[in-house]
Amino acid sequence: MYEIQDYFSLMWTVDDVVEYKHGEKSAQTLHSAGFQNLVFHNYNRLGHYTIPEEVNDVCCWLVAMMRLDGY
């Protein structure tokens, strides 16, 4: 089973809603607070919206964390 310390963070480098530096700081703070399996992905030239690559990355992380072998 996954643990509450597992965390996946996404950040877009040209986000016009949340500055990239705030995403980096959040990831650093979570790591310092003891979160394990912290994954911080950035997507270059992407604004504040979702793309298939991002959705795939989240799905792959969830499958790994929940140990859904063969999914």
Top-confidence residue, 59 or 3: 59
pLDDT, residue 1, reads 45
pLDDT at 37 over 60: yes
Nearest-angstrom CA–CA distance, 8 and 38: 6
- Give percent of the chain with pLDDT exceeding 90: 4
Tell me: the pLDDT tens digits for 15-29? 888 888 888 898 889
Task: Give the bridge partners for 7, in sequence order.
Answer: 38
Query: How far, in Å, CA of 3 to CA of 5, rounded?
Result: 5
How many Å apart are CA 24 and CA 21, to the nearest integer? 5
Confidence (pTM): 0.69
